[in-house]
Amino acid sequence: MPFTSATFLFVFLPLTIILYYVFNFIGKIKLNNLLLILFSLVFYAVSGLRTLAYLLVFIFIMYLSGKILSTFRDDKTKKGILIIFLTFITLVLCYYKYITFILELFSKDIKEFSIVIPLGLSFIMFEGISYLVDSYKNGVKSGSLVDVMLFFTFFPKIASGPIVLWRDFYPQIYKRKVSVDLFFSGMNRIMIGLAKKSIIADSLGVVVQNINENVTLGIDSPTAFFGALCYFLQIYYDFSGYSDIAIGVSRIFGFEFKENFNSPYTSTSIGEFWRRWHISLGTWFREYIYIPLGGNRKHVYLNLFIVFLITGIWHGSTFNFVIWGISHGILIMLERASRNNKWYKKIPSGIKWIFTMVFVYLTWIIFMLPSLKQAIIYYKSMFGVYVGDIYFTFEYFVDEKVLIIVCAALVGAFVGKWKIVEIIRQWTQNTKWGLIFSQIIYIGLFILAVWFMMNSSYSPFLYFQF
């Protein structure tokens, strides 16, 4: 059930909120937890009853795993058991995400083989690893079956995150509160996320799709550059919009999750970009991959390379994602090696920002296209090396509406560090007229977003595929 559907916005979410607040008035948080589990299961069941059954089996296995880990006192035994369970999760993830790719390497004809990847598989598996490791290493209780079910099924985060660590989620299961401030803060966040997705991301997604469908037929250079720019903006507004909605919905129910984006397109280095982009994924890799490998203590460059190689592989099973991950890893290593040099420190921040954005912009193209062959054709088209006759030029794909949306999206993506933004934010939070003005803007964006949503075909969130 997508967040940007009328069923979710006007039926499922309002009903869940009303019942939740009625139960909250009664003062039984356990009832609220059961209610959230029930509605979360309904939410997930929309993707298929078979995948729901798989999810329930996985949750029960995780619950038993946590209980088994808490039973043993010997560290060596516990560590061995932990490794067994982590191996199980890894094998399940690899099977669903990479079995088709592996079979293609050894056989060209796999038409009879098909596999349905459960919704949110990667995010669920990563949270499973967090559950086991935190229960083993960080002294967090493994919780009851209800606790574990709520953690894994909680519907705002189940499809595309943000990835929530067990040690951050568990304390909120029975010690969270709702308030008027949290409710309206959550609603505002939902409206912002919906506007990002429906107005900007989906509009640009149509342009990207139309251009990509003509890549192998031949597109001119301006079209290729503009298509890459649209995707550069689409993927940010699509995923950050989803995160805004997920965080907003969670806030309404009293859960506080960490931010997943922090103006990544204002970064002056790739390292900074990854501290601002998909923050929950970066946090997970740092806690459960980078630090266990040795972190900053030993083999720093090798550890960084491994993390970004796995990051690329996690996003997809084609060579595009591997190359994308490796390219970011190499630049991260080069930045790490250069950051204390005088010549690097003397480079103006504006130059660093331009270089970072150009690198991100160009590497998103590998991420955007399904095959390396298409990516190479796209790069050639950008620089005037065309593969065929150009039947459709820039004017065919772009109109005034698209240009206005692109300009608005560029402003929104790059204003994060502007002082005027913080001044306006303080004004809307600390003054009556500022609060009224902001609510008018939010409601206006929501109405416009719903209008866009109703007048366009369904476009799933990009990160559903991961």
CB atoms within 10 A of CB 312: 23
Under 8 Å between Cβ of 258 and 162: yes
Q: How far is CA 348 from the centre of its chain?
A: 31
> What is the token pair recorded at 298?
């030993």
- Read off φ and ψ for residue 219, nearest 5 degrees: -125, 150
> What is the token pair recorded at 120?
């949110």
- C-alpha 373/C-alpha 379 separation (Å) is 10
Tell which residue, 66, 32, 347, has the closest CA to residue 173: 32
- C-alpha 173/C-alpha 176 separation (Å) is 7
Helix, strand, or coil (residue 266): helix
- C-alpha 201/C-alpha 232 separation (Å) is 10
The backbone region for 384, taken as left when phi is positive above 0, alpha when psi lies in -120 to 50, beta otherwise, is left
The backbone region for 143, taken as left when phi is positive above 0, alpha when psi lies in -120 to 50, beta otherwise, is left
CA-based Rg of the chain, rounded to a whole angstrom?
23
Q: Could you give the angle at the alpha carbon of 186 between the alpha carbons of 180 and 192, nearest 5°?
A: 140
Amino acid identity of residue 278, one-letter, is: H
Helix, strand, or coil (residue 219): strand
- C-alpha 82/C-alpha 133 separation (Å) is 8
- C-alpha 260/C-alpha 240 separation (Å) is 7
- C-alpha 206/C-alpha 234 separation (Å) is 10
278, 299, 315, 328: which one is catalytic?
A: 315
Cα distances (angstroms) measured from residue 189 to each of 31, 243, 245, 252: 26, 9, 6, 10
Helices (H) and strands (E) in the chain, counts: 24, 0
- Read off φ and ψ for residue 392, nearest 5 degrees: -125, 125
Q: What stretches of 328-376 adopt beta strand conformation (E)?
A: none
Residue 299 falls in the annotated catalytic set = no
Under 8 Å between Cβ of 41 and 150: no
- C-alpha 266/C-alpha 276 separation (Å) is 9
Q: List active site positions.
A: 315
